[in-house]
Structure 1
Amino acid sequence: MPPTTIRIGTDRTVHRLGFGAMRLPTEPAAERSTAIAVARRAVELGVTLIDTAHLYGWGANEELLAEALHPYPDELLITTKVGVVNTPEGGELCGRPEVLRHQVDEGLRRLRQDRLELLQLHRVDPEVPLADQVGTLRELQLAGKIGHLGLSEVTVDQLDEARSIAEIASVQNRYNVLDREHDAVLDACTEAGIAFLPWRPVHPLLDAPEIVAVAAELDATAAQVSLAWLLHRSPMMLPIPGTASLDHLAENVAAASLSLTEDQRQRLTAFH
Structure 2
Amino acid sequence: MAAGTPSSDTTATGAPRPGGPGAFAGRTVSRVGYGAMQISRLTEDRAGAIALLRRAVELGVDHVDTAEFYGFGFVNEVLRDGLRPDDDVLVVSKVGATPNPGGRLPLRTAQKPEELRASVEDNLRSLGMDQVPVVNLRRTDHGPGVKAEGDQVVDLDDQLATMIALRDEGKIGAIGLSSVSLDVLRRSLPAGIVCVQNAYSLVAREDEEMLALCEKEGIAWVPYFPLGGAFPTMPKVTDEPAVVAAAESLGCTPAQVGLAWLLRHSRNTHLIAGTADAGHLEANIAAGRIELDDATVAALDAVPSRSAQVPLG
What range describes the TM-score normalised by the shorter chain of this pair?
A: over 0.9
Q: Specify which of 220, 229, 246 is matched with residue 195 of structure 1.
A: 220
**One of 220, 241, 248 as aligned partner of 2:280:** 248
Measure the CA separation in 2 of the matches of 1:25 and 1:158. Answer: 30
Q: Is the 8 A contact 2:19 2:32 kept in 1?
A: no
The correspondence of residues 120-135 of structure 1 with structure 2, limited to 5 A, is 120-124=136-140, 127-135=153-161
- Displacement after TM superposition at 1:192 (Å): 1.2
2:155 & 2:139 partners in 1: Cα distance?
A: 12
Contact 2:43 2:74 in 1 (8 A): no
**Structure 1 match to 2:289:** 257
Q: Deviations over 1:112-156 (max 9, x none)?
A: 111111110122556211011111011110111111110001111
Q: 2:28 aligns with which of 2, 10, 13?
A: 13
1:150 aligns with 2:176: yes
**Which of 24, 32, 37 does residue 22 from structure 1 map onto?**
37
- Could you tell me how far apart the structure 2 residues matched to 1:27 and 1:244 are? 7
Q: Supply the distance in 1 between the matched residues of 2:224 and 2:80 (Cα, whole angstroms).
A: 22
Give, in whole Å, the separation in 2 of the partners of 1:248 and 1:152. Answer: 25
Counterparts of residues 1-272 of structure 1 (less than 5 Å) = 4-10=20-26, 12-25=27-40, 27-30=42-45, 32-69=46-83, 71-87=84-100, 88=103, 90=105, 91-124=107-140, 127-164=153-190, 166-204=191-229, 205=236, 206-272=238-304
Cα–Cα, structure 1 residues 33 and 73, in superposed 2: closer, same or farther, change >3 Å? Answer: same
Percent identity over paired residues:
39
What is the TM-score with the length of structure 1 in the denominator? 0.93
Q: Indicate if the aligned counterparts of 1:26 and 1:61 stay in contact, CA closer than 8 A.
A: no
Matched to 1:83, the amino acid is G
One-letter code aligned to 2:179: E
Gaps of 5+ in 2: 1-17, 141-147, 230-235, 305-313
Q: Does structure 2 retain, via aligned residues, the 8 Å contact 1:176–1:230? A: yes
Alignment partners' CA distance in 2, 1:27 and 1:217: 35
Report the Cα distance in structure 1 between the residues aligned to 2:34 and 2:275, rounded to whole angstroms.
8
Q: Deviations over 1:204-229 (max 9, x none)?
A: 43131100111111111111111100
Structure 1 unaligned segments of length 5 or more: list them: none
Instruction: Please report how far the alpha carbon of residue 86 of structure 1 lies from its aligned counterpart in structure 2 after TM superposition.
Output: 3.8
Matched-pair contact (CA < 8 Å) for 2:138–2:177: yes
Alpha carbons of 1:74 and 1:86: their partners in 2 closer, same or farther (altered >3 Å)? closer
Does the CA-based 8 Å contact 1:121-1:152 persist in structure 2?
yes
Q: Contact 2:98 / 2:119 at 8 angstroms: preserved in 1?
A: no
Classify the secondary structure of the residue corresponding to 1:57.
helix
Q: Do the aligned residues in 2 keep the contact of 1:53 with 1:81 (CA within 8 Å)?
A: yes
Take 2:93 and 2:214, find their aligned partners in 1: how far apart are those partners? 20
- AA of the residue aligned to 2:225: R
Q: Compared with structure 1, are the counterparts of its residues 55 and 160 closer, same or farther at alpha carbon in structure 2 (3 Å cutoff)?
A: same
